Amino acid sequence: MDRVAVRGLRARGHHGVFPAERELGQEFVVDVDMAVDTRPAAAGDELARTVHYGVVAEQVVAVVEGEPVDLIETLAQRIADQCLSHDAVREVEVVVHKPQAPITVPFDDVTITIKRSRHDAEQ
């Protein structure tokens, strides 16, 4: 399976368990790596036979900017579900970065990484 990836998508969201996170919001960074069979698209040079990464990028940002959730695990699942709604996407790996997480010690980043497949979505 081939891979189509979009990395470093940035959006402001209001996700988290603390009131300040919900009220003030913070930047989230998302990477998506989608398993797609690109042979049909390449054979006919047809965008309709692959996944339109520009559309996926806009949808991912809309999820991050959308309804707040407590956990980045939930946010990652919503993003995975959105990616899998595209017929060409067979599997997706989603990494959600929360670089401004409310942690009291110095750190670089907090991430959740999930991998979901069309098979998972059908269960």
Enter the tokens of residue 15: 């996700």
Q: What local confidence, expressed as pLDDT, does residue 9 receive?
A: 98
Burial zone of 112 (CB within 10 Å; 0-12 exposed, 13-18 middle, 19+ buried) = middle
CA–CA separation, 70 vs 14, rounded Å? 9
- pLDDT tens track for 61-112: 999 999 999 999 999 999 999 999 999 999 999 999 999 999 999 999 999 9
Which residue in 32, 92, 91 sits closest to 58, CA to CA?
A: 32
Domain that holds residue 40: 2-122
What are the strands, taking DSSP E only, across 1-122? 2-13, 26-36, 89-97, 111-117
- DSSP letters of 53-87? HHHHHHHHHHHHHSS--S-HHHHHHHHHHHHHTST
Catalytic residues: 98
For residue 102, the one-letter residue type is: P
The CATH number covering residue 88 comes to 3.30.1130.10
Total domains in the chain come to: 1
Q: What local confidence, expressed as pLDDT, does residue 119 receive?
A: 79
